[in-house]
Chain A
Amino acid sequence: MVQERAEAPASLNDGQSAPPRLNPDGSADGTSPMSPGQLHEALRLMLQSHAIDELAIKLQRLKRIGLYAPVTGQEAAVVGSSMALDPQRDWMVPASREQPAMLRHGLPLENFFAAYMGRLDFAAIPPGIKLLPRQQAIGAQLPQAAGLAWAVKLRHERAVTMVYCGDGASSEGDFHESLNLAGVMRAPLVIVVINNRYAISVPFHKQTAAASLADRAVGYGMPGISVDGDDLFAVYSASAGAVARALEGQGPTLIECRTYRVGFHNTSDNPNDYRDSAEVQAARDHDPIGRLERYVVAQGLMTLGDLADLKEEIRAELDTVQRHVASLPRPEPDFIFQHVYEQLPTRLEHQRADLRGTG
C-alpha cells in the first residue's frame, strides 16, 4: 500500500500528439490505434451485440425471457474499452449493460443466454473467467471493483480491474466512496463511465451540474478523461492508456465515454414518454457501428460482401446457441437453496425438505 500523495492529475495525452479519431463519415484523423485483427474483433463484437439486442427483444416480446436492456448506440464505448484488457490477466466488473464486454472477456454465449432464459444450472461464469456477475444495484459494483484492484495490488500481481458504471451511478454514494478509496490506495483500477445521457428517464443535466463526469477525477487524485464514446479509436486509446498507467503502478483512471442510449432503458420502458424523437435520430446519425463499417470498407479491410457474410454468421451462431439453451433443462425448484451458504444450515435444510414435499 502506498500512502504518499498522488501526483497532480493530468490529461493522459499531455505532451503527445492529438489522439486518433474515427469520424462519423468513416474517415479517420490519425492512424488506427488498433490492428486489423483488433478492428475485425471489435466490429464482430459490436455487430454481435446489436444482433443479441434484436434477438433478446424478440424473445422478450414472445415472453421467453424476462427484462432485457439493450446496448444499442453504446457499442463502441463498451467494446472499445473492454478491448484494452487482456482477459487472461485482467478483471472485468460490469454494471448491467455491457453484454459485448462480458462476452469478449470470456463469458460463453451459452452461459450468457442461459442466464436470461432461466437455465440457471448453466448460467454461472465459468471458473477461470476473470469476470464478475452483472450488477442490478446501481453503482454497487464500484467499491467491489476497488477492492478487487486493491487485492491484486496487495498480492503484488500485475493486472488491471476495469469497472463500468453509467451516468446515473455517478450520483451514488458508492461512486464517491470507491473512487476516493481507489485513489488513496492507488489501486490498478480503470473506471469507465458510460454516459448514455439517461438514467431511465432522467437526463444527464438533471443528474449533475458538472459539465463532464471526468472532472470528478481531480477530487480523487486521479486523471480523468472524457471521450466521444461513439468513436472506437478514442475509447480504445483512452482505455489502453489507462490500463498501461495502472500496470505501471500509477493508480486509477476515470474515463467518461459520452454516448447515447438509442434504445429503451429496458423492455418495460417507453422512451417516447420522456424524450424527443429528433434527439434519438440525431444520435442514430452518430451510430458507432456504421462509422466502423464505413472505415473498414474504405480502408479495404473488408468488402460489403464480407460484412454481409459476417452478419449472417453472427445471426446463425446466435440462433444455434439460443436453440441449444432453450433445449436445456430448467433448474429444479430447490435450486433456490443452492449457493446460499457453503453448508446448508439445519433450518434451511428443513425448508428445502418442505419445498421438495410441497413444491
Chain B
Amino acid sequence: MMAATAHPVPNPAPRVEREMSILEAIRAALIAEMERDERVILYGMDVGTLGGVFRVTRGLQERFGIDRVFDTPLAEGAIVGASIGLSIGGMIPVPEIQFLGFTFQAFHQIGPQLARYRARSRGRFHMPVTIRAPYGGGVRTPEFHPDSVESLFTQTPGIKIVCPAFPDDARHLLSRAIRDPDPVLFVEPQRLYRTIRGPVSIDGDDVLPFGRARLVRQGTDATLIAWSAAVHVCLAAASELQGMGISAAVLDLRTLVPLDVEGLVKAVVSTGRAVVVHESPLTGGFGAEIAATLQEEAFMSLDAPVLRVGGRDVPYPPGTLEDHFLPTVPRIVAAVRRTVER
C-alpha cells in the first residue's frame, strides 16, 4: 500500500502538519472536540477503562473523567437508542459500536429512529450524534467483524455516512461529524488504523466539509472510485497499471451521504472510463448507485461501460478465504484493462 504523501493532495495549504496514523488522527479529533465542547461524550462497550478494543479512546477517560468517557452494557440497540435521548437532553453523543457488523443489532435504532428523528419531530429535535465504528476486511477477524454494511444506511435518509481513508481526512471529517447537527455514521478502516500514516494539519480549527470527493491520484485513461480501505487497494492497482502503460486516476469519495456528484462526474469525464470498487457485496451495493449516477449525468462522456469490483454476493467468508471475497489488486487491474481495451 502507498502512503498518502505519495499523491497530490488538493486540500488547502499551507499548514502546520504532524505525521499520524489514522488511529492517532481519530483520537486527536476526539480530544479536540471534547476540549472544544464539554457536551461531547464518548461511550460504548470497552470504550472507557480499556480505551476501546483498538485503543482509539485510550487515556481519554483519565483525561476527561468518567462522566464523559464511559463503558455501557453490551447492547448495541440501547447504545444508539440512548444517544437519541442524550441528544434531546443536551449532550453531543459520540457512541462507538465496536464493529460496524454489529450495527445489525442496532439497525432499528439507527435507520428508522436516529436518522428520522428530526423529520418525525417536524424539526423540534435534532440529533448531533456521531456513531463511530471500525470495519473492513483483510485482517482475518472473526465473523461479522469485517462486514461492510455502511451502504445499507444510504437507504435510511437523515443520516450522513463518512468513510475516511487517510489520517488527515479522519482527523478533520470526524471533527466536522461531531459538530454536525445531524447524525453521522463514521466508519473507520480497521486494517489501516496503524498501517497508514500521513500528514495531519494541526493548525487552528480545520474542519473538512462533507460531500467533497478528493482525487488522490491523477490519471488520464480511467478513473477508479472508492472509499475507505478500498482507496488504498485502488492506489496499489493504479501503480501496477502504470507499469502496464495505463494511467488510472483514483477518486476517494470520503462521504457517501452527502455524495459529491459534481466531483464524481468531473473525475470521470476527464478519463471517460470508470471502475467502482467496494468491499460490500456487489449486488445492490453503493457501486450500483455510482454507476447509475454516472450514466445519468455523464453518459455522453463515457467511452466504456462503468464497471464494478465488489465483494462477492456471499456471506462474508472465514478469514482464510477472505482474499477470494474482497476486491484485490488483480481484480481491479483486470477491470480497468477491460474498460480501457474496449
Residue positions of A touching B, CB distance < 8 A: 1, 3, 91, 93, 120, 123-127, 132-133, 137, 140, 142-152, 154-155, 161, 173-174, 177-178, 180-181, 184, 338-342, 345-347
Residue from the list B73, B113, B261 in contact with A181, Cβ < 8 A: B73
Q: CB-nearest residue of chain A relative to B75?
A: A177
The answer, yes or no, to whether B123 is at the interface (CB within 8 Å) is yes
Contact at B81–A143, with CB atoms within 8 Å?
yes
Contact at A150–B81, with CB atoms within 8 Å?
no
Contact at B81–A341, with CB atoms within 8 Å?
no
The 8 A CB mask of B239-266 against A (1 = contact, 0 = none) is 0000000000000000001110110000
A340 to B120, CA, bound (A): 9
Residue from the list B67, B70, B261 in contact with A346, Cβ < 8 A: B261
The 8 A CB mask of B83-108 against A (1 = contact, 0 = none) is 11111111101000000000000001
Contact at B158–A341, with CB atoms within 8 Å?
yes
Contact at A178–B78, with CB atoms within 8 Å?
yes
SS class, residues of chain B in contact with chain A: mixed
A184 to B84, CA, bound (A): 18
Contacts of A180 in B (CB 8 A): 73, 75, 78
The answer, yes or no, to whether B1 is at the interface (CB within 8 Å) is no
The answer, yes or no, to whether B320 is at the interface (CB within 8 Å) is no
The 26 listed contacts between A and B (C-beta, < 8 Å) are A1-B70, A91-B89, A133-B121, A144-B85, A146-B81, A147-B85, A148-B85, A149-B85, A149-B89, A150-B85, A151-B86, A155-B90, A155-B91, A161-B85, A174-B78, A177-B77, A177-B81, A178-B81, A180-B75, A181-B82, A338-B119, A339-B118, A339-B121, A341-B160, A342-B181, A347-B261
Contacts of A146 in B (CB 8 A): 78, 81-82, 85
Q: CB-nearest residue of chain B relative to A161?
A: B85
A345 to B256, CA, bound (A): 12
How many whole Å from B141's CB to the nearest CB in chain A?
A: 25
Contacts A124-B123, A140-B81, A154-B91 known; 20 new A-B pairs at CB < 8 A: A125-B122, A126-B124, A133-B124, A137-B108, A140-B109, A142-B81, A143-B85, A146-B82, A147-B85, A151-B89, A151-B90, A154-B67, A155-B90, A155-B91, A161-B85, A174-B81, A181-B73, A340-B119, A342-B182, A345-B211
Contacts of B82 in A (CB 8 A): 143-144, 146-147, 150, 178, 181
A154 to B160, CA, bound (A): 27
Contact at B89–A150, with CB atoms within 8 Å?
yes
Contact at B81–A147, with CB atoms within 8 Å?
yes
Contacts of B84 in A (CB 8 A): 143-144, 147-148
Contact at B86–A147, with CB atoms within 8 Å?
yes
Contacts of A339 in B (CB 8 A): 118-119, 121-123
How many whole Å from B78's CB to the nearest CB in chain A?
A: 4
A91 to B121, CA, bound (A): 15
Q: A132-B88, A133-B120 are in contact. Are A341 and B77 (CB under 8 A)?
A: no
Q: A137-B108, A340-B157 are in contact. Are A181 and B78 (CB under 8 A)?
A: yes
- Which of A127, A143, A181 has the most chain B CB within a 10 Å cutoff? A143
How many whole Å from B66's CB to the nearest CB in chain A?
A: 6
Interface size class of B (residues with CB under 8 A): 35 or more
Residue from the list B73, B86, B93, B262 in contact with A177, Cβ < 8 A: B73
Q: CB-nearest residue of chain A relative to B181?
A: A342
Contacts of A133 in B (CB 8 A): 120-121, 124
Contacts of B120 in A (CB 8 A): 133
The answer, yes or no, to whether B126 is at the interface (CB within 8 Å) is yes
The answer, yes or no, to whether B301 is at the interface (CB within 8 Å) is no
Top 4 A-B residue pairs of the complex, sorted by shortest distance between their CB atoms: A151-B89, A143-B81, A147-B85, A147-B82
Contacts of A140 in B (CB 8 A): 81, 108-109, 112-113
The 8 A CB mask of B112-135 against A (1 = contact, 0 = none) is 110000111111111000000000
The answer, yes or no, to whether B225 is at the interface (CB within 8 Å) is no
Could you tell me which residues of chain B, from 58 to 80, have a CB within 8 Å of some CB in chain A?
A: 66-67, 70, 72-73, 75, 77-78, 80
A148 to B67, CA, bound (A): 15
How many whole Å from B272's CB to the nearest CB in chain A?
A: 24
Contact at B83–A147, with CB atoms within 8 Å?
yes
Contacts of A347 in B (CB 8 A): 258-259, 261
Could you tell me which residues of chain B, from 210 to 261, have a CB within 8 Å of some CB in chain A?
A: 211, 257-259, 261
A127 to B124, CA, bound (A): 7
A107 to B221, CA, bound (A): 61
Contacts of B90 in A (CB 8 A): 151, 155
The answer, yes or no, to whether B25 is at the interface (CB within 8 Å) is no
Contacts of A148 in B (CB 8 A): 84-86, 88-89
The answer, yes or no, to whether B329 is at the interface (CB within 8 Å) is no
Q: CB-nearest residue of chain B relative to A341?
A: B182
How many whole Å from A338's CB to the nearest CB in chain B?
A: 7
